[in-house]
């Protein structure tokens, strides 16, 4: 069994505060992974308002924004045999309705 981090990205801060229906949808999706016993870590949501980016030369900028206007809104870790399976799980997430995307990356264990 391998572990994969699912990294959620949004590009519109308007969509960060979810409606109760959106919350329910997300929760159903997450619990659905847990119900398959494929959730390694339920991860966290990352704050949009309270963020800084630290750069070389003591430069600290406000916000989590990278060059493109896209930011990471959260992550979870799933455990599946293959990356394809992790991708299938990601496909069912409601984030795409908001124009967001999900990056799937295998966790490389430090040995």
Partner 1 sequence: MQDNSAAYPELLPHLFRLEYTKMTAVLCRHFGLQHMEIAEDIASETFLKAMESWGINGVPENPAAWLYTVAKNKTKDYLRREQLFEKKIKGAIKTPGTQEAAAVGFTPQIIQDSQLAMIFAVCNPSNPPEAQICLALQILCGFSVAEIAAAFLAKTETIKKRLLRAREKLRQDQFQITVLQEKAIAERLPTVLRTIYLLFNEGYFSASGSQLIRKDLCSEALRLALILTDNKLTNTTETNALLALMCYQSSRLEARENEAGESILFEQQDRDLWSQELIDKGNQYLVNACTGDAVSKYHLEAGIAYWHTTSATKKWEHILQLYNQLILLEYSPMTALNRTFAYAQVYGNEQGIAEAEKLQLTANSSYHALLAYLWTTIDTEKAMGYYQQAIHLTTSATEKKTLQRALDKLSLK
Q: Is 42 in the site for partner 1 (CB under 8 A)?
A: yes
Between CA 98 and CA 102, with CA 100 as vertex, the angle to 5 degrees is: 140
- Selected range binding partner 1 among 26-34, 45-53, 57-65, 99-107, rule: CB under 8 A: 26-34
End-to-end CA distance of the chain: 16
Q: Rounded to an integer, what is the distance from CA 54 to the centroid of its chain?
A: 21
Per-residue b/e over 73-105, b at no fewer than 16 CB within 10 Å?
A: bbbbbbbbeeeebbeebbeebebeebebebebe
Smallest distance from partner 1 to CB 61, Å: 35
Q: Which is nearer to partner 1, 27 or 83 (CB)?
A: 27
Give min distance, CB of 31 to partner 1, in A.
Answer: 4
64/76 with CB nearer partner 1: 76
Structure tokens belonging to residue 104 = 């799937």
CB of 86 to partner 1, least distance (A): 14
State the residues that interact with partner 1 by CB under 8 A: 24, 27-28, 30-32, 34-37, 39, 42
């Amino acid at each position: 069994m391998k572990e994969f981090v699912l990294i959620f990205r949004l590009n519109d801060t308007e969509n960060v505060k979810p409606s109760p229906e959106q919350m329910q949808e997300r929760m159903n999706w997450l619990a659905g992974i847990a119900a398959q016993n494929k959730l390694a870590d339920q991860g966290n949501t990352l704050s949009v308002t309270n963020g800084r980016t630290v750069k070389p030369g003591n430069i600290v900028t406000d916000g989590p924004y990278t060059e493109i206007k896209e930011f990471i809104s959260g992550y979870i870790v799933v455990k599946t045999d293959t990356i394809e399976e992790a991708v299938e799980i990601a496909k069912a997430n409601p984030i795409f309705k908001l124009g967001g995307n999900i990056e799937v990356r295998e966790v490389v264990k430090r040995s």
